[in-house]
Amino acid sequence: MCGISGRIGTNVLLFLICDLQKLEYRGYDSAGLGYFENDNIKTFKVKGRVSGLNKVKKKCASIGIAHTRWATHGKPSKANAHPHSSENGNWTIVHNGIIENAKQLKQEFGDEHFKSQTDTEVVAHLLEKYGDGVEAIKAAMERLKGSYAIVALNKAYPDTLFVMKNKSPLYIYQSEGQVTVTSDIITLDTGFYYDLEDGEYGFVTAEKMQIFNQKGKKIKKQLLPIKKDNIILPQKPFKHHMLKEIYDTPTCLQYLIDYYKNHPTGVDFSKYEHIKLVGCGTAYHTALMGVKFFEGIAGVESHAYIASEVYKPILKPNTLCIFISQSGETADTMEVMINAKKQGAETLLITNRMTSTMAKKADIVLPMMAGEEVAVASTKAYTCGVSVLYLLALQAAGKMNFTNLKRLQSEIAKLLSLSPQPRLARCKNVFFIGRGMDDVSAMEGCLKLKEITYINSIAFAAGELKHGTLALIDKHSLVFALNTCAERAGKMQAAIEEVRSRGGKVVELTTLPATNKDAVKFEHIDDNLDGLLIMVYLQLLAYYAAARKGYNPDKPRNLAKSVTVI
Ligand code: M6R
C-alpha cells in the first residue's frame, strides 16, 4: 500500500523517485512529489506509474517529499494523489494510514475548502489552522484519530522535514548532511536509523533532529543499525518477479534449513496446551496448515483464524498465539496481535521482515528466510512460512529433524529444473478440491489463480461437492483435484468420478502411485509436505495463465503487497 519518502541533500528529486521505485512493490495507483523551489513549495502528481514523475527528475531541489498512493478515501486520480497542501499553501504533506475522524474534521472546515476526496487533505488544513512549525504539528495531532505516518513541508522552514507518527511505521536516517525519512527500511542502504514510536513527532534538518513524545516532551532517540537479510538469491533473468520468486524457492528452503539447524526457535512448547494461529489471505492458509501440523504431528489442540474475523479473541491460559505475516505490517493481523498482548497472551510472529512493526511487538520472532518478495502474489513466502510451522510442530512433538524438508527442497529444485509451464484449459468455471491438507492447498492454489488471472474460481473440501457445488458442474467446468493422502484416496476418487460423470474436466494432481493414468504425478515426500511440492506447480499454473492473458502477474489490479489498512 502507500509508501513515503522525504529527503534532504542534493538533487533530491532523483533520489525520491528511486525511493518510490523501491516502494512500488507495495502496490499503488498514483504517485507524487513535493519540493521547495525558490522558497515556494511545488507539487507534481501523476495517476499511474512512478515513471510518470520522471518529467521533473532533473529539477534541482535540496529538500522534498514523495508518495505512492493506494486509494482508500477517493478514487485513484491525480487530484487524490499525494502530496496535499493546506489552503494557503503553507503546508504540503504526504501521509500513510487512515484518519478515522476525517469526515468530522472536514465538516468543521466546510466541504468547499477541499480539492480532493482524501482524508489527508484534512490534516494539511488542520496544520494551517494551528500555524507553522512543530507547535502546529503538536496541536494537529491532538485532534487526529487513526493511523498516520506523515512527512510535511512548511513554507516557513525551507530546510526542514516535519514528521508525525501513529500506528504506521516511519523511520529517519541522518548522516553527513543527508536525510531520508521513510515508511519502509527497504529504501535505506547501510548505517543507522531512528525508529519513531506511536505519538512521536518533530522535525529534522541536515544538521539537527528534534523529536517529541506524545506529552510534548523532547526525547533523545536511539540509533538502530540498518539490518538487511543476509539472503543472496540467484539473479537469473526472469520476465517477472513472481516467476523469479517461485524459482527462488529451493534456495530459500536451503537458507531456512541452515538457519533453523543453527538457531533454536526459543519456544517452550511444554508451556502450551492450545495454539491459535492468525493471518490473512495466503498467511491464513499458512495458519491452516499449521493447525494440521500441530494437531497431526504434535497432538496440540490448535485453531486458525482470519485476522479480520477475530473480534474478541477468547484466550484460555496456556495458549500460544502464532501470527503469520510475510510483511509484518498487515493491519488486520497487527490489530489481533495488539489485542492478544493486552490480554497477556504470548505472541510468536513468523515473518519475512524482521524489522517490521509486528516484529517489534511480538515476544518471539521467527524468520521465514524467503528473501525479498516483490510480487503481490505470495509464493516462496508461503512455502517458507508453512515449512517453519512444520519444524515447530516437529519440535513440539520432540521429533525435530530436517530430513523431509531437505527432500522437499530437492524435489522442488528437480521440478523447477524441468521448467514446467502448465497450461490452463479453456473453461467457464474453475474449481479446486481436496481433503485434509489438500483442502488447504486447494484454497491457496485457488487464491493464486484468482488474484493474478481474475478468473472466478472456488476451492472447497472435496466431500462438500455433493452437498451443493456439484450443481455448478457441467462440461464447461475445470476441476483441479489434489490427491496426496493415501487414506482418503478412495473418497477423492469418488469425488473425481462425480465430476467426470457430469461432463466436467478433471486435472488430478497427486503423489499417490495408483491413480488415474492422465494424472499429473509428483514425488511423494511426506504426507505433511506433499502439498508444498504441488503448490509450486499451482503457482506456475497461475503465473503462466496470467502472463498468457497479457496481465502483469506482479501487479494485479486493485491489490497491494502490504495491506496496511483495516
Ligand atoms: O504480509 P502478509 O503475509 O501479512 O499479507 C497477508 C495477505 O495480504 C497476503 O498473503 C495476500 O493474500 C497475498 N497477496 C496472496 O498472494
Q: How far apart are CA 536 and CA 415, in angstroms?
A: 9
- Cα(284) to centroid of ligand 1, in Å? 8
Residue 330: φ, ψ to 5°: -65, 120
Per-residue confidence (pLDDT) for residue 544, from 0 to 100 = 97
User: Is residue 186's pLDDT more than 80?
Assistant: yes
Check pocket membership of 327 for ligand 1, CB cut-off 6 A.
Answer: yes
Check pocket membership of 356 for ligand 1, CB cut-off 6 A.
Answer: no
Q: How far apart are CA 292 and CA 288, in angstroms?
A: 7
- Cα(327) to centroid of ligand 1, in Å? 8
Per-residue confidence (pLDDT) for residue 233, from 0 to 100 = 75
Beta strand 171-175 with 346-351 is unpaired
Beta strand 224-225 with 505-510 is unpaired
Q: How far apart are CA 321 and CA 305, in angstroms?
A: 11
Check pocket membership of 379 for ligand 1, CB cut-off 6 A.
Answer: no
User: Is residue 522's pLDDT more than 90?
Assistant: yes
Per-residue confidence (pLDDT) for residue 334, from 0 to 100 = 94
- Cα(559) to centroid of ligand 1, in Å? 10
How many other C-beta atoms lie within 10 A of the C-beta of residue 429?
17
Q: Which residue has the higher pLDDT, 191 or 202?
A: 202
Per-residue confidence (pLDDT) for residue 313, from 0 to 100 = 66
The DSSP symbol for 52 reads: G
Question: Average model confidence (pLDDT) for the chain?
Answer: 94
Strands annotated E in 185-311? 192-195, 201-204, 209-212, 218-219, 224-225, 274-279, 301-306
Is residue 375 within 8 Å of residue 554, measured between CB atoms?
yes
Q: Residue whose CA is closest, atom 10 of ligand 1?
A: 282
Mean pLDDT across 289-306: 97
Q: Residue whose CA is closest, atom 14 of ligand 1?
A: 377
Check pocket membership of 378 for ligand 1, CB cut-off 6 A.
Answer: yes
Place of cell 522437499: 408
In angstroms, the Cα distances linking 201 to 111, 175, 179, 214 are 28, 20, 16, 8
Least confident among 226-240, 334-348, 537-551: 226-240
Per-residue confidence (pLDDT) for residue 355, from 0 to 100 = 86
Q: Residue whose CA is closest, atom 4 of ligand 1?
A: 325
Q: Which of 174-183, 537-546, 556-565 has the highest mean pLDDT?
A: 537-546
Check pocket membership of 280 for ligand 1, CB cut-off 6 A.
Answer: yes
At 501 the three-state DSSP class reads coil
Check pocket membership of 326 for ligand 1, CB cut-off 6 A.
Answer: yes
Helix axes 120-129, 102-109, angle to 10 degrees: 50
Mean pLDDT across 543-556: 95
Check pocket membership of 330 for ligand 1, CB cut-off 6 A.
Answer: yes
Least confident among 143-152, 224-233, 342-351, 386-395: 224-233
Q: In this predicted model, what pLDDT tens digit does every residue of 215-263 receive, in sequence order?
A: 999 999 999 998 776 677 777 789 999 999 999 999 999 999 999 999 9
Hey, what amino acid is at 508? Answer: E
Please state the atom number of ligand 1 nearest to the C-alpha of residue 333.
Answer: 4
Check pocket membership of 377 for ligand 1, CB cut-off 6 A.
Answer: yes
Report, as residue numbers or ranges, the catalytic residues. Answer: 2, 561
Helix axes 530-548, 380-396, angle to 10 degrees: 170
User: Is residue 76's pLDDT more than 70?
Assistant: yes
Select from 25, 323, 327, 382 the residue to mutate for testing ligand 1; criterion: most ligand atoms less than 8 Å from CB: 327
- Cα(204) to centroid of ligand 1, in Å? 34
Q: Residue whose CA is closest, atom 7 of ligand 1?
A: 281
Residues contacting 39, CB < 8 A, separation 6+ = 155, 158
Per-residue confidence (pLDDT) for residue 193, from 0 to 100 = 95
Please state the atom number of ligand 1 nearest to the C-alpha of residue 559.
Answer: 14
